[in-house]
């Protein structure tokens, strides 16, 4: 996959999956741009050719507009940033619901919109890859996490709709749909789980890389499962 001299935005690039995606992009010659919220994340890619940009809130319209306005023309924008809340219905406050919608759906929508503007500046099409969740395709798996499930279902629907809307411009939009992934945090939270069944972040990153690449010439509006054996 030829990413040489192509600018790629990766939101959530300082997390476990994001780091795997950025590493793979760099290995294929991409120029990566990664927003960060916490000061401690500023040096995650120290010594590597990654542009780190302070961005406190990706659900803030003005902040996202400013973030993308400062970028060169983009080839791809990969939206991994999001949030998770495990809470039964009776314990899900309006604040939790709104936070899940903001962290997952609103942030994704705003980043998609501004990414399209940055791609149009390049006049060469582009690729957008969003991250939904297995619960978006199988909502019965979202018991006791209904706010998260609803927000990720919105991401899935958004991705499919935008894929249709933007195809004529050569901008292909897709979403990956991961099950629980093998990360240090998930291992800590579920120590008795079968870790071997979980997809590895490097494997999920490989799927993202193809969907965001110029080699992907056909796939759009896809909701691509990355479940592994789980």
Domains of the chain: 7-226 (3.40.50.720)
Binned at pLDDT 50, 70 and 90, residue 193 comes out as: very high
**29-45 mean pLDDT:** 95
Sign of the alpha-carbon torsion through 130, 134, 137, 143: negative
Q: Tens digits of per-residue pLDDT, 61-89?
A: 999 999 999 999 999 999 999 999 999 99
Residue 10 in contact with residue 21, Cβ under 8 Å? yes
Binned at pLDDT 50, 70 and 90, residue 14 comes out as: very high
Binned at pLDDT 50, 70 and 90, residue 230 comes out as: confident
| Structure confidence at residue 83 (pLDDT) | 95
């Amino acid at each position: 996959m030829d990413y040489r001299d192509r600018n790629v935005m990766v939101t959530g690039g300082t997390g476990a999956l994001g780091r795997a995606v950025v590493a793979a992009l760099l290995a294929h010659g991409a120029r990566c741009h990664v927003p960060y919220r916490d000061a401690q994340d500023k040096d995650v890619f120290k010594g590597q050719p990654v542009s780190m940009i302070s961005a406190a809130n990706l659900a803030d319209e003005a902040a996202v507009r400013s973030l993308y306005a400062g970028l060169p023309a983009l080839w791809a924008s990969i939206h991994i940033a999001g949030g998770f809340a495990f809470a039964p219905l009776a314990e899900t406050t309006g604040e939790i619901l709104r936070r899940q919608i903001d962290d997952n759906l609103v942030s994704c929508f705003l980043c998609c919109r501004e990414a399209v503007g940055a791609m149009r500046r390049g006049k060469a099409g582009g690729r957008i890859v969003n991250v939904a969740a297995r619960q978006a395709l199988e909502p019965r798996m979202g018991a006791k996490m209904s706010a998260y499930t609803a927000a990720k279902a919105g991401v899935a629907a958004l991705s499919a709709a935008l894929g249709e809307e933007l195809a004529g411009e050569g901008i292909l939009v897709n979403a990956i749909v991961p099950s629980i992934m093998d990360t240090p945090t998930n291992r800590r939270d579920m120590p008795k789980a079968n870790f071997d069944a979980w997809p590895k972040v490097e494997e999920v990153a490989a799927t993202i890389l193809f969907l965001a690449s110029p080699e992907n010439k056909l796939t759009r509006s896809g909701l691509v499962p990355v479940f592994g054996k789980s």
